[in-house]
Chain A
Amino acid sequence: MEKAVAEHFVGRVEDLPLNEIHPVVVEGRSIGVIRTVGRVYAIGNRCPHQGAPMCAGRVGGTMAPSEPDEYVYAHDGLIVQCPWHAYEFHIDSGRSVAAATRGRVATYRVTVRDGDVFCTLTAPGSGGTP
């Protein structure tokens, strides 16, 4: 059975910049809230590689596997790139793109109600909410 955990208000949807990382502190933890076109996500602030501050990274896409001489840009707005070594992670699961590095970025549950954005600290996170 899932333990009861508290929701924490982290801002209004309209105040969250689109496809940027909005840093907040919840229960003493540094968290990055990311509003995408369809959902809001929350990630931890440490890269599993060497602990870089993910809130200083950038949100974008990544290059998908493709044929030689073909370049396919994918997952636009759903990838966060580490500011130190450019490792990329899916913002919904925290998993490393193409398993380039071991581990994951922590993710936390986000709920949006009437434009209010709430973050719930659960482990592991379950990604965003429409």
Chain B
Amino acid sequence: MRIYVDQLDCTGAGQCEQLAPDVFALLDDGLATVRDADGEPMADGGAPSGAVVDASRTARVLDAIDVCPGACIRRLPD
């Protein structure tokens, strides 16, 4: 699974970071993004390429997608 954060709709609630801090990061500007393979926050929320989510993190990422108030975590085709 690959994902990115659509920052146009991000409300900065931070629930994604709380659920999966190893996948998401809340930036100083209040918007969330995804982390790259080195754990560094990606620019533009990770769009358009997205970040790869390995199987061990998938469940928590799916939870984040479900609860995100902004509904702004986008899944990309594998």
Residues of A within 8 A of B (CB): 29, 44, 46-51, 102-106, 108, 121-124
Q: Is the interface of B mostly helix, strand, loop or mixed?
A: loop
Contact of B12 among A29, A51, A103 (CB under 8 A): A103
B9 touches A48 (CB 8 A): no
Residues of B within 8 A of A (CB): 7-14, 29-31, 68-71
B71 touches A46 (CB 8 A): yes
Q: Tell me, rounded to whole Å, the shortest Cβ–Cβ distance linking B4 to chain A.
A: 13
Contact of A48 among B7, B8, B69 (CB under 8 A): B69
Contact of A47 among B31, B68, B69 (CB under 8 A): B69
Given A51-B69, A103-B30, output 16 extra A-B contacts at Cβ < 8 Å.
A29-B9, A44-B70, A46-B11, A48-B69, A48-B70, A50-B69, A102-B12, A102-B14, A103-B11, A103-B12, A103-B69, A104-B30, A106-B8, A106-B11, A108-B8, A124-B7
